[in-house]
Structures are given as C-alpha cells and as structure tokens.
Amino acid sequence: MINIIGLGPGEFDYITKLGEKLIYSSDILIGGKRNLESVEDFKGEKIVLSTNLKEVLEYIKKNLHKNISVIASGDPSIYGIGKYLSNNIDHKNLNIVSGISSLQYIFSKIFVDMNDIYITSSHGKTPDFDYILSHKKVCMVTDDKIGPHKICKEIQKRNLNKVIVVGENLSYDNERITIGKAEEILEVEKFEMNVVVILDEK
Ligand SMILES: C[S@@+](CC[C@H](N)C(=O)[O-])C[C@H]1O[C@@H](n2cnc3c(N)ncnc32)[C@H](O)[C@@H]1O
C-alpha cells in the first residue's frame, strides 16, 4: 500500500495520529529533504523527492507490494503531490491521509472562518489577478516570483480596498504574521516562505 501523508504546516506536533502511526510502520519513506528531516528518527529507507518525480513514480509502481509512505507538507491534496500520484497510481493501492494545510493554519491564527474562500497558487503560472481579486476571501500559496509584493501591487493597480495577511514560516519558531493594507505590506522588505490571505476591507 502507498500512503500519502500530510505532515501539517511544519512543526511535527501538527501531524495526525494516524499519519504518524503509518509513517513509523512504513518500510520506505519518500519526501522532500525538509520533510524527511522532520522524521529523523525513522529507521527505514529514505528516498529524497526533488525533480526526480517520474523516477520516483516508476519506483513506487514497481514496489506496490511494499509498505511505502510519501510525506508531504500541509495537506497533500492542496497544491501537493496528492494530485500527481492520484492521477498516476491505481486508487486501490493508494491511501491519502490528509493533514492540516498551511491555509487552514493561517485562518485559525487570524480568527477568520474559511467559509466560501477561493484557494489558489502562484506556483509556475501567471495568476489572473482580475479574477482572483474579484473574490471576497482569497488564500494563495506563493513562490519566489509571485508573492506578497506582487499581489499588493496588483491590488494598488486596481485601487481596491483589501486587507492582506502574510503568514511566514507558519507553526515554526520563526513564524511571523503581518497584517496590513497593500502600502503597509509593501514597506516590508522581504518575506520568507509564506501564504497570503486577501480579504475585503470591512
Ligand atoms: C507546494 S505548496 C504546498 C502546500 C501544502 N500542501 C499545504 O497544504 O500547506 C508550497 C507552498 O505552501 C506554502 N506553505 C507551506 N508550508 C508553509 C508554512 N509552514 N508557512 C508558510 N507557508 C507555507 C508556501 O506558499 C509554499 O510555497
């Protein structure tokens, strides 16, 4: 059986009990370097996932009889490896264990409900900001190219009244949550790994 396990936003305490149990009963653990480091006491074989996605998929397909867990940050079904593996592995061999997404985490920190949110990502694409900013409540996972600064400039271009929340390094010791209007967020020189929430001003 192949498990795809969401680790939660970062700090290992956020993993589900089931996820933890399945990880430690696996023979092989596959995941990004940072994620594998978070289970340093795992005794079995570890395979690092980076740009070798196709090779890892072939490896998994050849080893379906083994007890393999693929670990992913947050929830694997939110801009994670869940989609790729679900599209490429027979579902009878797959077990996805959801985790707490960085998106869920930031909403709990700012005491805003997640009802009717629009979830999107800037990873590897040019976002349609007219469409994104037409929503009342947006949460976006970002990359190095399109992050809080670019989002704020797009808000300013359209003269919109939005409140922006930037959640960096969520659940880690160096977590930082910055809340402000576009001009205030633009004053912050640099943001580390982050999600951005965009809300209509009340
Ligand atoms: C490939 S996506 C994975 C999202 C993940 N599946 C989830 O549910 O949180 C990676 C992006 O998620 C966001 N992210 C993941 N963990 C984060 C954290 N601890 N703090 C802030 N942002 C995080 C960042 O935007 C990062 O670039």
The DSSP bridge pattern shows strands 94-97 and 2-6 to be: parallel
Work out the number of other CB atoms within 10 angstroms of the CB of residue 20: 15
Which pLDDT belongs to residue 107? 98
> What residues contact 21, with CB distance under 8 A and at least 6 apart?
none
- Separation of CA 175 and ligand 1 centre (Å): 13
Q: Give the torsion through C-alpha atoms of 127, 133, 135, 138, to 10 deg.
A: 70
The DSSP bridge pattern shows strands 118-121 and 137-141 to be: parallel
- Separation of CA 144 and ligand 1 centre (Å): 12
- Separation of CA 65 and ligand 1 centre (Å): 31
The DSSP bridge pattern shows strands 68-72 and 2-6 to be: parallel
Please give the C-alpha separations between residue 71 and each of 20, 37, 99, 140, in angstroms, as whole numbers: 10, 11, 10, 22
pLDDT digits (tens, 9 = 90+) for 155-187: 999 999 999 999 999 999 999 999 999 999 999
pLDDT digits (tens, 9 = 90+) for 11-35: 999 999 999 999 999 999 999 999 9
Classify domain 2-100 by CATH number: 3.40.1010.10
Contact 23, 51 (CB under 8 A): no
In this structure, what token pair is assigned to residue 35? 């994620």
The DSSP bridge pattern shows strands 162-168 and 194-200 to be: antiparallel
Question: What does the domain layout of the chain look like in residue ranges?
Answer: 2-100, 103-200
Which pLDDT belongs to residue 126? 87
100 or 145: whose pLDDT is higher?
100
Residue 123 has pLDDT above 90, yes or no: no
Which pLDDT belongs to residue 124? 79
Ligand 1 atom nearest to 100, measured from its CA? 8
- Separation of CA 194 and ligand 1 centre (Å): 7
Which pLDDT belongs to residue 16? 98
Topology of the domain covering 103-200: 3.30.950
Contact 29, 40 (CB under 8 A): no
Ligand 1 atom nearest to 140, measured from its CA? 25
